[in-house]
A and B are shown apart, each in its own frame.
Chain A
């Protein structure tokens, strides 16, 4: 086509739209298939888990993250490198407790809900972005870190921000050379 110059910035946006729209169509289909919100949330979480286990390899191949020595370093990397790489946003990190194994990611901008104004009627406990929780959980498990990842606050449900809580659980194996993330 004869207008390559001003098209270039659009390509990137359309690509992101493709993922966002596909995700929306998926959630819509799931709402049609399952009546209970918990089922949809669980399905999204499992799907995210499957994606996360594979995405972490792509992530490690693309980024040159050095070995981490603490949970807060890992959470910083998730927020500043991984989220930036795949969704183009940088959530801020807060540590929730003194034993430093509970963290929160605060998302002030969430590209997944770009076309969503509000949750559909009767679906008030739907966690629209539950896929993200599953992805983080799956990715961490592939680097031998068990974690609980849930939504603590959700803008779509009326809260002021969207907050994802990551709680690192006790790890099973202590082999140091495997703790690379």
Chain B
């Protein structure tokens, strides 16, 4: 699908644009990641509204997470999440072995230190999607070897 190339390129430009306008330093890095995550949050909210317009009501939290792993991920990234683990107490780990936004970057440990910049938007996407389904959460990502990555979702009980 040609649209994918457009989104990939836009995402990469966004990341480099956000980082270009700042200097080095831990604080600045955190601020840039927050900016990208907030953008992803807003997009996730909008997307999930469009997407779940006609779907049936979700039974419980696990059902929502499965929806994110299958339908949502398939629509956005053309594949499902490869592995979903949970401790049944509000923590879910979504593992994607070939994350679309990282496949073009490297296949292994090269550029590992830059991977987090490219995951911030997607973390926000998940958090925004869950937020509009009524779940407040914190989403973080970790990469040990590209292009596989894990998204950790911590549900906040209100």
Cβ of B47 < 8 Å from any Cβ of A?
Answer: yes
Chain B residues 39 to 58 lying within 8 A of chain A, measured CB to CB, are: 39-40, 42-43, 46-47, 50-51
Residue count of chain B within 8 Å CB distance of chain A:
30
Listed in ascending order, the chain A residues whose CB lies under 8 Å from chain B are 1, 7, 10-19, 21-26, 28-29, 33, 43, 47, 50-51, 54-55, 58, 62, 85-86, 115, 131
Closest to B70 in A: A1
Closest to B121 in A: A22
Given A1-B71, A15-B1, A55-B6, A25 and B42 contact (CB-CB distance below 8 Å): yes
Cβ of B82 < 8 Å from any Cβ of A?
Answer: no
Chain A nearest Cβ from B120, distance in angstroms? 13
Which of A14, A23, A43 makes the CB contact (< 8 A) with B50?
Answer: A14
On chain B, the residues within 8 Å of A47 by CB distance are 10, 13-14, 17
Prevailing SS type, chain B contact patch: helix
Cβ of B75 < 8 Å from any Cβ of A?
Answer: yes
Which of B43, B51, B71 makes the CB contact (< 8 A) with A25?
Answer: B43
Given A29-B35, A43-B17, A62 and B2 contact (CB-CB distance below 8 Å): yes
Closest to B46 in A: A21
B50 contacts A17, C-beta separation under 8 Å: yes
On chain A, the residues within 8 Å of B13 by CB distance are 47, 50-51
B7 contacts A18, C-beta separation under 8 Å: yes
On chain A, the residues within 8 Å of B40 by CB distance are 25
Cβ of B105 < 8 Å from any Cβ of A?
Answer: no
B43 contacts A11, C-beta separation under 8 Å: no
Q: List 11 A-B contacts (CB under 8 A).
A: A11-B74, A11-B75, A14-B51, A18-B47, A19-B3, A21-B43, A25-B39, A26-B10, A50-B9, A51-B13, A86-B2
Bound CA–CA A58/B5 (angstroms): 8
